[in-house]
Amino acid sequence: MEKPTMPAFTANPVQFIKEVTNELKKVTWPTREETIKLTGVVIIISLIVAFFIGGLDAGLLKLTSSLYKR
């Protein structure tokens, strides 16, 4: 298996842009519906993680403040 080479965009910027354009044409882009659905999933998971970390933080704050009041 060949090791991919780094593009020499400083040597020939026009060729580099052509290669980038050709590679981007090969990409399978998601549909609008897929993008909206996956964005919703990311937002929901982010909110779940945020509430979990927030709850953990609040719980540890209560624990440490009750321990240090003694």
Q: How does pLDDT run across 56-68, given as a tens digit for each residue?
A: 999 999 999 999 8
Condensed to tens digits (0 to 9), the pLDDT of residues 18-57 reads 999 999 999 999 999 999 999 999 999 999 999 999 999 9
Q: What is the pTM of this model?
A: 0.63
Query: Which whole number is the average pLDDT over 10-25?
Result: 87
Reduced DSSP (H G I as helix, E B as strand, rest coil) percent helix, strand, coil of the chain, to 5 = 75, 0, 25
Instruction: Give the confidence band of 16 by pLDDT, cuts at 50, 70, 90.
Output: confident
Contact 8, 16 (CB under 8 A): yes
